Amino acid sequence: MISVVVLDSYALNPGDLSWDKLQEKASCTFYPRTKPEETAERIGNAQAVITNKVPVTAEIMDKCPDLKYIGVMATGYNIIDVEAAKKRNIVVTNVPAYSTNAVAQHVFALILDFYSCAHEYAQDVANGGWIKSPDFSYMLKPMTELYGKTLGIAGYGSIGSRVAKIGHAFGMNIICHTRTPSKIPVESGIKPVTKEELFSLSDILTIHCPLTDETKNMVNAQTLSLMKKNALLINTARGPVVDEDALEKALKSNAIMGYGTDVLSTEPMQSTNKLRGLPNVRITPHVAWSPKETRERLMDVIVQNFYAWLDGHPQNCVY
């Protein structure tokens, strides 16, 4: 039976899912977490490895000559040296579009945290604020309607397009900047715009583009200066799309209203992160993708990818 090493099993399955389907066709070794210096030794002479965020480099591939398959438990596969894998005839697969619903939902959870202030009101009520109030309804802080606001979307992939549909349901005006504006259906009611227009026109700007050399630090001092002072920035894509130093300055000077993010430039979060503790920032720990239903879907495709490779017809290959 072929041997498989799962390098960071906890990320997908903290204990509420089953690995049984994978184990039906493989002898599996599971590590909840793996440090970079442990990777080569743990892979050893295994023929297949499955990883979420543990990098597999050319050096590791050289130390593990029996390796023939790398399954990435995510859509992004920048942790794998794909060119090195290709040269060594190692198949690399990923799982596209599994988290669309969950991430789109999380985008609006972050937006509504700013616009409806439900958490702050609930906390104040828990602390006795309503008991002390002489009025049946009191205004702790202003709330804002989404209706009629302009939602700007950077990127029009599966998540960006789903976010647009939810925005339409709220009665928002949708604009989008994408490398392929021709893919936006005319009947969608979404207006393609330039990058400069995206930043200057959006009441809420949400990022859904991959991290590339072109998009790294796309949100910077110059683009932030184009934004409205009451604009909200949302990031559920990748942390390095945002220049956090420039963003910190913009937030502290109230150049924009706020920032809601599920991702940071360095993860896990560092104690020195400049966004930590700012009153107009909401940070969640890279969990937008992680509802149980989403992880079940991810597990299913991981197993399907592995089975397809075993059968000699690999699917979802990244090259």
Q: CATH topology of 3-98+292-310 equal to that of 100-283?
A: yes
Q: How far is residue 292's CA from residue 262's CA, in Å, rounded to a whole number?
A: 17
- Smallest CA-to-CA distance from 257 within 140, 171, 141, 173 is with 141
Q: Which residues are catalytic?
A: 238, 267, 286
Q: Per residue of the chain (319 residues), give pLDDT as tens.
A: 999 999 999 999 999 999 999 999 999 999 999 999 999 999 999 999 999 999 999 999 999 999 999 999 999 898 999 999 999 999 999 999 999 999 999 999 999 999 999 999 999 999 999 999 999 999 999 999 999 999 999 999 999 999 999 999 999 999 999 999 999 999 999 999 999 999 999 999 999 998 899 999 999 999 999 999 999 999 999 999 999 999 999 999 999 999 999 999 999 999 999 999 999 999 999 999 999 999 999 999 999 999 999 999 999 999 9
Q: How far from chain centre, in Å, is Cα 95?
A: 13
Q: How far from chain centre, in Å, is Cα 302?
A: 18
Q: Order across the sheet with 173-177: list the strands.
A: 191-192, 173-177, 150-154, 204-207, 232-235, 258-261, 281-283
Residue 175 contacts residue 190 (beta carbons within 8 Å): yes
Q: How far is residue 208's CA from residue 294's CA, in Å, rounded to a whole number?
A: 18
**Where do the structural domains in the chain lie, given as residue ranges?**
3-98+292-310, 100-283
CB atoms within 10 A of CB 27: 12
What local confidence, expressed as pLDDT, does residue 40 receive? 98
Q: How far is residue 112's CA from residue 121's CA, in Å, rounded to a whole number?
A: 13
Tokens of 87: 């040269």
- CATH fold group of domain 100-283: Rossmann fold (3.40.50)
Q: How far is residue 92's CA from residue 85's CA, in Å, rounded to a whole number?
A: 7
Any bridge partners for residue 4, and if so which?
Answer: 28, 48
DSSP per-residue letters across 154-168: E--SHHHHHHHHHHH
Q: Which CB contacts under 8 angstroms, 24+ apart, belong to 102-106?
A: 102/288, 102/289, 102/290, 102/291, 102/293, 102/294, 103/159, 103/236, 103/288, 103/289, 104/159, 104/162, 104/163, 104/166, 105/288, 106/236, 106/262, 106/284, 106/287, 106/288
CATH class for the domain made up of 3-98+292-310: alpha beta
Tokens of 70: 């790398």
Q: What are phi and psi of 126, to 5 degrees?
A: -60, -30
Residue 5 contacts residue 49 (beta carbons within 8 Å): yes
For the whole model, what pTM was predicted? 0.94
Q: How far is residue 112's CA from residue 257's CA, in Å, rounded to a whole number?
A: 14
Q: How far is residue 144's CA from residue 164's CA, in Å, rounded to a whole number?
A: 19
15: left (phi over 0), alpha (psi -120 to 50) or beta: left
Q: How far is residue 235's CA from residue 154's CA, in Å, rounded to a whole number?
A: 10
Q: What would you report as the CA-atom Rg of the chain, rounded to the nearest whole angstrom?
A: 22
CB atoms within 10 A of CB 274: 15
Any residues with CB less than 8 A from the CB of 158 and at least 6 apart, and which? 96, 97, 100
